[in-house]
């Protein structure tokens, strides 16, 4: 609904039991991230309240946001962040592989013909990894390996 109402790019989306992760790229002179998130949070609250036959607020906190382009190395940060978000349900014990998550946005970055349940726009940093999709995927998988090694050390 939000993608139909506002002009922005949804780069990643992952639902976990008690929160969601979104990577949103706003467009210059268009809606702000605050307006987009207000709309998303309101629609989720409406749907929840209708389904549960209740009323009231659903979200207790303001959303957390970071500007990727302001990180030390934006390209590496985004590619690592995509795997971090994809692996969130795995870390929570909800799935065994990010490729099998409910929305499965990560598959958009692995399979050129994959159709997610929401419209995912491949980020320009991913597309810069190679001259064709297969090369981009091959280099993107390097970040999955790096992420797996990092979480193996943590656990």
Q: What is the pLDDT of residues 117-142, one digit of tens each?
A: 889 999 999 999 999 999 999 999 99
Q: What is the pLDDT of residues 5-35, one digit of tens each?
A: 999 999 999 988 778 899 999 999 999 999 9
The confidence score (pLDDT) of residue 152 equals 62
Domains of the chain in start order, with CATH, are: 2-154 (3.30.70)
Percent of the chain whose pLDDT exceeds 70? 96
Q: Give the model's confidence band at 101: pLDDT under 50 very low, under 70 low, under 90 confident, else very high.
A: confident
Q: Could you write out the DSSP letters of every residue in the chain?
A: -HHHHS-EEEEEEEEETTEEEEEEEE-TTS--HHHHHHHHHHHHHHHHHHHHT--S----SPPP---GGGSSSHHHHHHHHHHHHHHHHHHTTS-S-GGGSSS-GGGGGT-TT---SS--PPPHHHHTT-SSHHHHHHHHHHHHHHHHHHHHHH-
The confidence score (pLDDT) of residue 154 equals 53
pTM flag (> 0.75): yes
Q: What is the pLDDT of residues 41-70, one digit of tens each?
A: 888 888 888 888 888 777 767 788 899 999
């Amino acid at each position: 609904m939000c993608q139909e109402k506002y002009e922005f790019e949804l780069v990643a989306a992952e639902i976990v039991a008690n929160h969601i992760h979104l990577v949103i790229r706003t467009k210059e002179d268009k809606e702000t991230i605050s307006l987009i998130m207000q709309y998303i949070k309101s629609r989720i609250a409406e749907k929840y309240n209708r389904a549960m036959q209740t009323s009231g607020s659903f979200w207790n906190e303001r959303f957390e946001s970071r500007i990727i382009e302001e990180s030390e190395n934006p390209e590496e940060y985004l590619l690592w962040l995509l795997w971090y978000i994809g692996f969130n349900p795995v870390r929570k014990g909800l799935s065994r592989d990010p490729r099998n998550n409910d929305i499965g946005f990560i598959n958009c970055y692995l399979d050129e013909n994959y159709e997610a349940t929401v419209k995912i726009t491949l980020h320009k940093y991913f597309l810069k990894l190679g001259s064709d999709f297969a090369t981009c995927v091959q280099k993107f998988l390097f970040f999955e390996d790096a992420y797996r090694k990092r979480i193996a050390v943590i656990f």
